[in-house]
Amino acid sequence: MQELRVFVIDNAITFKNTLVQELTKRLPAGTKIGHAAQPVEALDKMGSFKPNVIVINFALGSLMVNQEKFLPLLTKKFFHVPIVTYGMSTGQSAAKILGAAVYLKKPTIGQSTDEFFDSLIKSLLELNSGKIPATSSTNSSPSTGNGLTRKSMESTITRPSPTRPIATPPPPVSPSSPTPSNTAPPTASRTATPPPEPVINIPTGSPGKINLIAMGASTGGTEALSVVLTNLSPPLPGIVIVQHIPPMFSKLFSERLNEECKLSVKEAATGDIVQPNHVYIAPGGKHMTIRNEGGRYTLECKPGPPVHSVCPAVDVLFDSVAEVAGGSAMGVILTGIGKDGAAGLLKMRRNGSPTIGQDAATCIVYGMPKTAYEIGAVQQQLPLTSISAAIHKIAR
């Protein structure tokens, strides 16, 4: 068995760092591990690192680099190097078509990671020893790579679409006072045991009144948003999102989600008309707000002073949604440090919006949802894996 040199590529920085730590701990002594967050960085580093196995996020491998999907590009530049890829979807067939030797299902937040890492270590060792073929036989097809788009891959990629029973609507509450959630705020520790099946309450109101969904997240949010958005399917109102993220990364993140999701995802731009079944992610370094122009919601994205030390800020978006959309919008606040979004979510709730907060057990950081819950902005507190089902039931 040759010396093992593993190169990890993932633009979800938190998970990439976890991968590197686990591989360092679990692989044989003397194993060399390199890593990168973006395709250009990876190509630059791998030339001198000379990996004999590559590990890459499947969504990142589906991005276009120099007019070609990144994963097939890797198989051409490093044709002798086997590739292990992983993702939130059950995308084994599509991964093999694009050139991967192994596809693994990435655990969602709150699930045990032991099975994933055990399978990853086993695959790396077997690839290094030659027990697993380095590439799929389908990789020899001249049409692989460029011809496969997100829409054409939907027949091979299946995504779970969770459902939950509809509970009896809760009694009316005073919007200025905190409402007991389905689960009282637990301690901030994470657990590998799935939470009990939650009850999803549907707020009172006329069916179909929700015509906009606003979401906010920070630390751990890229992973959390992947979980939520990949489990959403049409028909849904337009979705506007602020994730604390630097410039350039917001575009890559949007492109990655567009490959994974049934909804269309893009980095937002000034003048965008919010369309049903579309997701708009605020560009890094620019605050995003909505306007009502002729009965249609349009977006404005522009630089501005930091709010809560960040730009874009969730509160800026939520404030504008509360003012422009009122009770026709719903709000969702996910994992993150600090208090950004809490005050804006409270304004939305006071204007009649149903609101959801991620619970402590499934948060990477139970900060923003905790503050929102404590000031009464969160109407329902749910585990991450239940939020997609709640959005479906409330918005529909």
Neighbouring C-beta atoms of residue 340, cutoff 10 Å: 29
**Neighbour-count burial of 224, counting CB atoms closer than 10 A to its CB (0-12 exposed, 13-18 middle, 19+ buried):** buried
Tokens 């028909």, residue located: 235
Angstrom distance (rounded) from CA 15 to CA 10: 8
With a CB cutoff of 8 Å and minimum separation 6, the contacts of 366 are 185, 188, 335, 359, 360
Selecting among 62, 89, 218, 320, the annotated active-site residue is 218
Selecting among 340, 359, 386, 388, the annotated active-site residue is 340
- 118 annotated active-site: no
- 218 annotated active-site: yes
Selecting among 10, 226, 244, 386, the annotated active-site residue is 244
Residue count of the chain: 396
Residue 177 and residue 373 in contact, taking contact as beta carbons nearer than 8 Å: no
- 340 annotated active-site: yes
Amino acid code (one letter) for 230: T
Residue 240 and residue 299 in contact, taking contact as beta carbons nearer than 8 Å: yes
Cα 53 to Cα 56, 92, 93, 282, distances in angstroms: 10, 18, 20, 35
Residue 110 and residue 191 in contact, taking contact as beta carbons nearer than 8 Å: yes
> Which residues are catalytic, by number?
218, 244, 340
